[in-house]
Structure formats: C-alpha cells, structure tokens
Structure 1
Amino acid sequence: MRYHRRMAMTTDDCGSVRPSTNLSPAAALFHGLADPTRLAILQRLADGEARVVDLTGLLSMAQSTVSAHLACLRDCGLVVGRPEGRQMFYSLTRPELLDLLASAETLLAATGNAVALCPNYGTRSRTGATIDAEETGR
C-alpha cells in the first residue's frame, strides 16, 4: 500500500477523484515490463550479467529478437551494457527493480494469479492466447 499512500488524489469541480501526479512514467514502466520475453530477460539478469548469446540460448530466440528486447530495456533505463572486447555484458541498472519483481510475485501469489483471468490482459485474451501458443508451441 506504499504506492497508494504516495499517490495523492484530488477532487475536481464535478466531484471526480483524479490522481494529482502524472502517472504516465509509471504506465510506461509497466508497459515496458508487460512483455514475457523482457520479464524473462530481467529474471535472468537478476542472477548477474549475461551476454546476448547467453540469453538467446536460454530463451530459444533469435539474436535479433533478444537484442531488440534488450534495446527496449536499455532505453527504459532498466539495463545497461558493459563492453568487454567484442562482447557486451548486460546487467540491471537498479536494485529496486528486483524489489518490484518480488512484490509482483507476492501480489500474484496473494491473489491466486487472478490477473490471469482478466478479460483484457489475462491468458485468455487476444494477447494471452498468443502468449499461450508461443509457450506451448501450438
């Protein structure tokens, strides 16, 4: 509930309650984290540095796909690359990201993964059906 306490609410002339802070950066962060491949990359990087070749083997994806996801995470400021010779080693930029991912796991466990039933974003939605097909090979 810390997030809720930090998010100040105001009431407009019509009585509608609205957040008094700009939530666009938070929405952008969660949008960046909304992809299963990017989450898998972050989960791997939580264990330490990795090269693109390490991630392609783990994820069974093309180098170009993994590189595109790493570029997204880098552009969001969530990962950083460290060159060593001709290789680039990627790592998380902020330890707070581990706290966020751990909190998400705790929330999912507490809700019994009820978010998977969400008609818009759950595993049975259009996006989720694609994810299910990719995971199961169907």
Structure 2
Amino acid sequence: MNNNVDLKVEFLHGFSHKTRIQILECIKDKEKTVSEIVNEIDGNQSNISQHLACLKGCGIIVGRQEGKYVYYGLRNQQIRELLNMFDSVLNDIEDDVATCENHIS
C-alpha cells in the first residue's frame, strides 16, 4: 500500500509545477513541437525541455518523431480528462484555494 502512495506522489509531482501545467494546457488539444510550446507559453527552451523530460518520464506525455521534429502530446484521453477534472473541481473550490493559508511543501 505504501508503494501505491509513493507512486501517486510521483505521478502528481508531474502536475506540481506552473511550467508543467502550462505545457499540459498548451498540448491538451493538439500535439506541438518544443518551439511551438516555447512560443505559446513564452518560456525558455532549455527550461521547457527539462519539464518535457519530467512529464515524459512520469508517463503523462509522449513524444512522436516526425522528420527532424518531435511532437509532444498527452499520453491518452484519461490525462485530458484528468486536466479537465482539475478545472472542474477548481471551479468549485477556487476561493478556498486562493485564500488558503495552510499550504505546506
């Protein structure tokens, strides 16, 4: 059971950084190259590449080689549904989250 909790923590870690969430939102509906992602979220290519590696390593996204480009997209429909569920739940509790003074790292 503890192993299952550890795996959940590792999986959720993929969603626990602003840049990774921006990347996921950017590719939620369409595959994109690193350059497209960098331009869309106004990021730094090296930083974005590191976060893409994290997301890919956690199994949240996949990369598909086409010619000299790699296109990144969500691993499957379940990840898309999870992102949509985050939005739905957050819609209900956003005031509480915004005013929470008990966030711990």
Asked if TM exceeds 0.5, the reply is yes
- Long gaps (5+) in structure 2: none
Aligned twin of 2:12: 30
Give the structure-2-normalised TM-score.
0.87
| 2:37 aligned to which of 51, 55, 69 | 55
Correspondent of 2:77 among 95, 115, 136: 95
Tell me the residue number matched to 2:60: 78
How many Å separate the matches in 2 of 1:85 and 1:22? Answer: 39
Change (3 A) 1:36 1:113: farther
What is the number of equivalent residue pairs in this alignment?
Answer: 105
Q: Answer with 95-104 or 19-28: which moved more.
A: 19-28
Give the distance between the partners of 1:21 and 1:89, measured in 2 at CA: 32
Give 4+ residue runs of structure 1 displaced > 6 Å after superposition. none
Give me the whole-angstrom Cα distance separating, in 1, the residues matched to 2:29 and 2:75.
13
Distance 1:120 1:34 in 2: 17
TM-aligned CA deviation for residue 116 of structure 1 = 2.4
Within 1, Cα distance between the matches of 2:95 and 2:72? 30
Q: Aligned-pair RMSD on alpha carbons?
A: 2.1
Instruction: Verify the 8 A CA contact 1:108 1:114 in the aligned structure 2.
Output: no
| Gap runs ≥5 in structure 1 | 1-18, 128-138
1:80 counterpart letter in structure 2 = V
Larger Rg computed on CA atoms: 1
Considering fraction of residues, name the structure with more helix: 2
Q: Distance in 1 between matches of 2:53 and 2:23?
A: 12
Larger relative contact order (Cα-Cα within 8 Å, sequence gap ≥ 6): 2
